[in-house]
Structure 1
Amino acid sequence: MLFSESWLRRFVNPPINTEELTHRLTMAGLEVEEVQPAAPAFSQIVVGEITSIAQHPDADRLRVCQVDDGSGQSLQIVCGAPNAAQGIKVPVARIGAELPGGMKISPVKMRGVESFGMLCSARELGLSEDHEGLLVLSAQCENGMDLRQALDLDDQIIEIKLTPNRADCLSVLGVARELAALTGEPLHMPAYEPVAVSIPDTLPVKVQDADLCGRFAGRVIKGVNARAVTPDWMRQRLARSGQRPISALVDISNYVMLELGRPTHVFDLQHVNQGLEVRWAVAGEKLELLSGVEVVLDADVGVIASNGVPCSMAGIMGGEDSAVTLDTQDIYLEAAFWWPEAIMGRARRYKFSSDASHRFERGVDFASIPEHLERVTALILEICGGQAGPVDDQVVQLPQRPSVSMRLARCQRVLGIKLEQAEVAAIFTSLGLGFSYTDDTFHVTPPSYRFDLNIEEDLIEEVARIYGFERIPDLPPVAAAQMCIDAEGLRGPHALRAALAAQDYQEVINFSFVQEDWETKICGNADPIRLLNPIASQLAVMRSSLIPSLIANIEHNAKRRQPRVRVFELGRVFMRDQHVVDGPLTVAHVNQPNRIAAAAWGGVVAEQWGQADRHVDFYDVKRDLENLLGVHAASTRYEPTEHPALHPGRSAKVMLHGKEIGLIGELHPQWLSTFDLNKAPVVFELDMAAIAQQQVVQAQGFSKQPVVVRDLAVWVESGVQYQSLRNTIEQVIAQQEQAAIIKDVQLFDVWRESPDATEKSLALRFWLQDHDSTLEDARVDACMQLILQQLMQQHQAKVRA
């Protein structure tokens, strides 16, 4: 929000400079983002009056002006401005003056005629971009007056950044209230004297929906001069607040919005003389806005209608058909309280914003509507003339403002300072908060313009703001501190990130909302969770998998000629689940598990001389996955699976203790063209909760006995999986003491006589060791024979000769 310091000081004028003023506002929560001077530096420029003007004898576009600069002597100045005329007052740069940019004025001859100064445009003074002619000043300015004083150019323009809860400070009055409370200086409120009612005319208004409009007030004003010139003081304040002056009636409405925080709207009475209806729109109704854009209204958008036709989006923007023009003579002035919930998000839905909606969706004072209406009316009658009718004020349904309690002891404990009851009472009084005090508790009734005071913590914040955050001592807490030791078996998100980063993966953070076809086609999710208000049309649903976004990251890098990409992400996914109920961290019917996923594409290692280039494959990423699993890797099994995103035959589900915890595989060939990739990435995705806990490794002493290595090759049916043989061997080791000497088993060869052979040979290597004694051949042979017998019984295995 922009406003000028001089405007603010008309409400409250503390004896502090600009720097101290802005510092206090910032420390009170109204962050001052920038302070700029109203005009750049220049000197010796005064108000002058052109007393006579004559054509230059040798130049068609130049004229010789005689100027009264208040010095008592007429200055001869040659000027080429097209609007130079006798009798107007303009800025005069005297000899020795310095303009913005460093230009100095000295006597010159222009086509043989001497010139002793310069008449200036607004652009030459750095006041605006207007350079069509001289800056014409008000006739009330005295000749010789310093221009900075005449136009109040030593003013400062302050820009503050407000948090959404402080709608009461979206006006100069609101900021002045804060400054008065911070400095203790008196607040000078504007006059709200009722204007004289000189005509009986009224306009019938019917408020049909109380959940849209809680209060509606308006009055008829006839005989206004819409072509009246907006006063310079008002135009100046509007310009310094970032508002472009348009016409007198519009400027007055904008001025009061900035001054008091009260958006109002002016209707051309000729177009709404049948009366007004305040209601929700009928779906499909159309309205051309003041911006020239035609919108199709939804049923949850409020409108002000006349004769059944919408003529304004309630609390957002007026319609073009009922707007005032320079020919308007009779108007209807409206001010209303719109429920914030009825305005929130409506303007953004139609891809625009307005000053009115920005205020109404945060909450606007509902108690001062008649007074503010009188203020607007008084300005209209003063500037545009006319006759005012009576105020029609309809109170339909106003917000209930229950008192908010704040325990003094609780306030002292939260802030860490000993505050007396009288000091807190003085703070509430300075803020204009009505209160009572009983049983060490303040009972505060929030004023109608403070929609942010609802709970005890809000009042504690008010006390801290006005007391001064910088006055609160920075003391360390006095408490018996006890170190919290992380569970040794817990692997949190940071540990998992570190494990993948150590394997040359880079973390990425993607949006939780994705394209709908990713969900339906790549993830096989027929019913994704849709967003009610997506930030972009292509980001319309919540993700149920991290994989598509990782593939998109690879595509992005591949298009930028990156030869090798390894990325991972840790984040939530969102799926429908009827068993989930509402809770502190849950939403009904939505499961939100944490997942960790990674994708690799390109070379196994970065290009180098010591190793041939090879594209990453399934087993490379499987190794990375097992390194991530840590001690879980020994209990993890991989079973073939099918998934819409993965290559059939080159993908598997990851099983841990018999439960599926994720999947791994190569991207399906049909998605390579979709993502414009020449080779398939390999991806995996795991449920983070399944691997976050692990058993602590138990240390065991090393055996000093030698290790015996034996190989066993067997024929089995082609459909028999190695994992089933491995399960049988592990079962024998666990159940037969004789086989306990087997420490490890690895598959090192698979052989078939032909691709369509019905049998295959699996060659297994066994490592055997006893902790206490050296193994003898007889004992090793008996152990291997036991393993072979079990393989023959359960899998019809045959020893390969």
Structure 2
Amino acid sequence: MRVPLSWLREYVDLPATETGRDVQAKLISAGLEVETVEQLGAGLKGPLVVGQVLTIEELEGFRKPIRFCTVDVGAANGTGEPQEIVCGARNFAVGDKVVVVLPGAVLPGDFAISARKTYGKTSHGMICSGDELGMGDWGSPRTESGGGSGGIIVLPPEHEVGTDAIELLQLVDEVLDIAVTPDRGYALSMRGVAREAATAYGLPLRDPALLDVPAPNAHGYEVKVDDPAGCDRFTARTVVGLQPEAHSPIWLQRRLQKAGMRPISLAVDITNYVMLELGQPLHAYDRSRLSGPIGVRRAEPGEKLTTLDGTKRTLDAEDLVITDNSGPIGLAGVMGGANTEIADAQPDPETGRIAGTSEVVIEAAHFAPTAIARTARRHKLSSEASKRFERGVDPEAAAAAAQRTVDLLVLLAGGTAEAGVTQVVAPSAPRTVAMPADHPDKVAGVAYGRETVVRRLQQVGCDVYGQDELVVTVPSWRPDLAEPNDLAEEVIRLEGYENLPSTLPTPPAGRGLTARQRLHRRVGRALAGAGQVESPNYPFVSEQVFDQLGLDEDDERRRVVRLVNPLSDEEPALRTTLLPGLLAALRRNDGRGSHDLALFETGLVFEPSGQETQAGRLPVDRRPTDEEIASLNAALPRQPRHAAVVLAGAREQAGWWGKGRQAEWADAVESARLIAREAGAELTVRAAQFAPWHPGRCAALYVTVDGAETLVGHAGELHPRVVKALHLPERTSAMELDLDLVAEASEDAVQAPSISTFPVATQDIALVVAQDVPAADVEAALLEGAGELLESIRLFDVFTGEQVGEGRKSLAYALRFRATDRTLTVEEATAARDAAAALAGERTGAVLRGA
């Protein structure tokens, strides 16, 4: 919500010395998020005046049309003589009133104006466009392009020549930009922000909604509400005799512009102005285009409606619509229909008279927030009206907003208000909340006292009764106040969050990071130390990504938890794997020129168990009981912590030291081994086939948990179809494992390695096996066959070629033997190596190379 300070001062007598920054600080202290204060007209210096175009001479011989003009600026130039100005815009004519900046002035952006020779003439100033004055697109009656996006500003003829245009166009102002949170819909209006400012400064509020509104009668435009749950209040007023040629006055256009809205036409501008002022969205219908009574109902499935943006929409049965005898004429609370919109003023080709809408029906209604929010999201159609309705609009303001609109139409468009007033209201009682008078004290840990609590609640607009036990009647414009904690929050914020004492809780002895948290940190440090970059991602996914990953229809990872209210309709589910987010980050960085990438993430995935229950609300005045915490946990899906890595491009850079090396499937496997070492677990690697990995370059990762071998993840190179579907770099590799299962396999206590003072005996062995025999199986057999003397084993060479035969490969290992109590002899080391080779031959068919 953009709030011009000059407009705010109409409702609150702020001290004249208060700047926008001062008001920002006050409102922030009161709990509003005032993001910026924009200084309009900063650096602007006159003379800037109203001028009248006297003559226009078209200059020829240039690449673009140029006009040499004389403009009457009165006595503003000190001589009274016409001002000679060169201008390239063409949306003005002789006799038009325009805005002229004279030599010596400075425009926004530190643009100094002086007399200068151009196109063979001397130009003494400029005829200004809206952009040049920092106003943006100015809604000129003539739309032919000129200087700036909206062309030269053509003023109404009633303004006197020589008038100060800085004041006339309200060019100097301060605008507060407020980020309105979902619970504070009232702040999407000048009325709501003015109430907060009045409270913050301790000043009275001139409420713009306090108007004399005529009582409803039977003579108003007929309205039928078939869904009172969706629309509990509907006010209709009619104004006739509007002058189609009437334009919005400058002050109205400027206020709309400063608030971030574009002026359109007088009737539409007035409804937008009242919406900004009171927070009540309105809609104006051309009565001549209405057929029969206005109705409110749910849409019939398959009904069509063309909205004001020109889009033909297929309606849903849950959509709330406005109708007449012809069918739907608007999406309630979102956008009106094109078939009843206010007609633009156009000259009649036969009579020359201006024709347009002369009779309007004003709608001021209150719709259910949930219905409007779902309709806006369903049709991907967010409007200023829907933003307000879905956050909560004051239902009691509808009649006042309609009256304010009628008054402005009568004043500015020469209309006449009909006596008929229609008001359809569903019966409802005021909302009350019971609260102990000391409840805010307990929540904040501060002794406010009953008097302060009552005073602050009354400032919010509540009626308060009772002594120790208060009964609070909530104002109609605050639908977010529903329970005692909401009321306590109001007291605390108005008393000042900065006045709350800072106290650190005293944790019980012996508590700190859990083993799971410590492992999480160790793994992150280890992966970062290995040259990988942590890339946290949102836990939301689109179910379409599972097709891109090539998952089978019965794959467990397709069973997702869907969010009732997702941040994005395109990603409505919680992730069951970390890979979609990491691969999207890799693709994004690769597209921006970073081609050598190694990213990792440790985070939760969400696995529905089917046993979830409805969670209750936890108390805030005490610690939840174990039963309450268990009930809350039962309502949640399983949330194991996973670790994942994705790699692409160079793993080792090329340079004077060598050619470098591209990342490959083995690097993904090594990342898994690194995690297992940090957890103190023994990782077993076997060949596997598992989406989204390449079937010939995929490894299954196992650990031993409670004596049983348990699958914890996979690593390898991604399938080429997956790489293509996700637009990833070629040969992208990835790894993902269940960190919680790996932690279960770790030893209860970290064992320090035994260190021998005796020398090591190294034996190399080269074994030839079939091409499809995994090296991990050969290594496992060598480990078991070598016995206790084997200290370590390392694969240092893989060779294929004619020397070993077709379909076979040579694996060369370095074996290190060491005893803890003696120096090994060559015979002992050789015997251990031969035993290892024998077992490998028995299990995998390996033979010694050259044998």
Q: For the superposition of Structure 1 and Structure 2, which TM-score range results when normalised by the shorter chain? A: 0.7 to 0.9
Alignment check: 8 A CA contact 2:209 2:401 kept: no
- In structure 1, C-alpha distance between the alignment counterparts of 2:167 and 2:301, rounded to whole Å: 56
User: Does the CA-based 8 Å contact 1:666-1:680 persist in structure 2?
Assistant: yes
Identity %: 29
Contact 1:219-1:392 within 8 A present in 2 as well: yes
Q: Verify the 8 A CA contact 1:523 1:544 in the aligned structure 2.
A: no
Q: What is the match of residue 500 of structure 1?
A: 527
- 1:769 maps onto 2:819 in alignment: yes
Inter-CA distance 557–197: structure 2 relative to 1 (3 Å threshold): closer
Q: Name the CA distance, whole Å, in 2 between partners of 1:107 and 1:720.
A: 86
**Cα distance change of structure 1 residues 399 and 662 upon mapping to structure 2, 3 Å threshold:** farther
> Which position in structure 2 is the counterpart of 1:17?
18
**Offset at 1:661?**
0.5
CA contact (8 A) 1:742 1:769 kept: yes
Label 1:270 to 1:567 Cα distance change in 2 as closer, same or farther (>3 A).
same
C-alpha distance in 1, partners of 2:764/2:644? 37
In the TM superposition, residue 164 of structure 1 has moved relative to its aligned partner by 2.4
Q: Is the 8 A contact 1:569 1:596 kept in 2?
A: yes
Q: Is the 8 A contact 1:603 1:613 kept in 2?
A: yes
- 1:660 and 2:714 aligned: no
Residue number in structure 2 paired with 1:393: 423
Deviation at 1:364, TM superposition (A): 0.3
CA distance in 2, matches of 1:523, 1:199: 66
Match of 1:243 in 2: 261
> Does residue 452 of structure 1 match 2:480?
yes
Q: Is the 8 A contact 1:198 1:388 kept in 2?
A: no
- Greater CA drift, 306-315 or 603-612: 603-612
Q: Deviations 1:363-414 (Å, cap 9, x if unpaired)?
A: 1001232233222223333333224233222222658624153653x53355
The residue aligned with 1:343 is: 372
- Give the 5 Å matches for 1:355-366: 355-366=384-395
Quick one: distance in 1 between partners of 2:699 and 2:318?
49
Please name the residue that 1:372 is paired with: 401
Give the drift of 1:104.
6.4
Q: 1:216: Cα distance to partner?
A: 1.6
How do 1:663-678 and structure 2 match up within 5 A?
663-671=714-722
| Alignment deviations for residues 335-354 of structure 1 (CA, whole Å, 9 cap, x no partner) | 11101001114334434322
CA RMSD for the aligned pairs?
Answer: 5.2
Is contact 1:264–1:335 with CA below 8 Å preserved after alignment? Answer: yes
**How many angstroms does 1:630 deviate by?**
0.9
The answer to whether structure 1 residue 688 and structure 2 residue 739 are counterparts is yes
8 A contact 2:464–2:473 mirrored in 1: yes
Pick which of 425-434 and 619-628 moved more: 619-628
Instruction: Please tell me whether residue 644 in structure 1 is matched to residue 691 in structure 2.
Output: yes
Corresponding residue pairs, total: 780
Letter in 2 for 1:376: T
Greater C-alpha Rg: 1
How many Å separate the matches in 2 of 1:380 and 1:451? 31
Matches within 5 A, 1:207-356: 207-307=225-325, 309-325=327-343, 326=345, 327-356=356-385
Corresponding residue for residue 736 of structure 1: none
Is the 2:550–2:722 Cα contact (8 Å) retained in structure 1?
A: no
Instruction: Answer with 351-360 or 416-425: which moved more.
Output: 416-425
Q: TM-score when scaled to structure 2?
A: 0.76
Q: Deviations over 1:26-73 (max 9, x none)?
A: 32233331232368633456679x8x97999x999756859477x9x9
2:750 to 692, 697, 707: 697
CA distance in 2, matches of 1:55, 1:668: 71
Query: Do 2:37 and 2:177's aligned partners in 1 also have CA atoms closer than 8 Å?
Result: yes
Distance 2:596 2:768 in 1: 41
Residue 208 of structure 1: how far off its partner (Å): 1.5
Q: Bigger shift: 59-68 or 280-289?
A: 59-68
Number of the residue aligned with 2:546: 519
For residues 92 and 186 of structure 1, what CA distance do their matches in structure 2 show? 41
Q: Which moved more, 1:780-789 or 1:640-649?
A: 780-789
Q: Distance in 2 between matches of 1:494 and 1:420?
A: 46
8 A Cα contact 2:5 2:176, kept in partner: yes
Q: Distance in 2 between matches of 1:679 and 1:66?
A: 69
More off after superposition, 299-308 vs 394-403: 394-403
CA distance in 2, matches of 1:150, 1:91: 10
Instruction: Give 1:171 shift.
Output: 1.2
Q: Which stretch shifts more, 127-136 or 210-219?
A: 127-136
Alpha-carbon offset, residue 716 of structure 1: 11
Structure 1 residue 682: Cα displacement: 3.7
Which residue among 598, 610, 628 is the counterpart of 1:578? 610
1:182 to 1:727, Cα distance in 2 relative to 1, 3 A: same
Check conservation: 1:638, 1:654, Cα contact below 8 A. Answer: yes
Distance 1:34 1:785 in 2: 81
Structure 1 CA distance, aligned partners of 2:116 and 2:507?
81
Give 5+ residue unaligned stretches, structure 1: 734-738
Number of the residue aligned with 2:620: none
Q: Within 2, Cα distance between the matches of 1:607 and 1:365?
A: 67
- Indicate conservation of the 8 Å contact 2:40/2:134, yes or no: no
Q: What is the one-letter code of the residue matched to 1:42?
A: K
Structure 1 residue matching 2:406: 3-state secondary structure = helix
Deviations 1:597-631 (A, max 9, x none): 22334455221444554545544543342222116
Deviation at 1:245, TM superposition (A): 3.1
How many angstroms does 1:172 deviate by? 1.1
SS at match of 2:305: strand
TM-score by length of 1: 0.80
Q: Which moved more, 1:599-608 or 1:774-783?
A: 774-783
Q: Equivalents in 2 of 1:234, 1:796: separation in Å?
A: 90
2:43, 2:106 within 8 Å by CA — same for their partners in 1?
A: no
Shift of 1:144: 7.7
Q: Distance in 2 between matches of 1:421 and 1:198?
A: 41
What's the secondary structure of 1:460's corresponding residue?
helix
1:279: how far off? 1.0
Report which stretch shifted further, 586-595 or 352-361.
586-595
Give, in whole Å, the separation in 1 of the partners of 2:830 and 2:40. Answer: 96
Where 1:287 maps in the other structure, the secondary structure is strand
Deviation at 1:187, TM superposition (A): 1.2
Q: Secondary structure at the match of 1:454?
A: coil
* Partner-residue secondary structure (3-state), 1:451: coil
- 1:151-192 deviations in Å (ceiling 9; x for gaps): 655543333232222110111111111111111211122375
State whether residues 8 and 190 of structure 2, in contact with CA within 8 Å, keep that contact through their aligned partners in structure 1: yes
Relative distance call for 1:182 and 1:711 in structure 2 (3 A) is closer
Larger deviation: 150-159 or 241-250? 150-159
Among 662, 665, 676, the residue aligned to 1:629: 676
Decide whether aligned partners of structure 1 residues 135 and 311 sit closer, same or farther in structure 2, where only a CA change above 3 A counts: closer
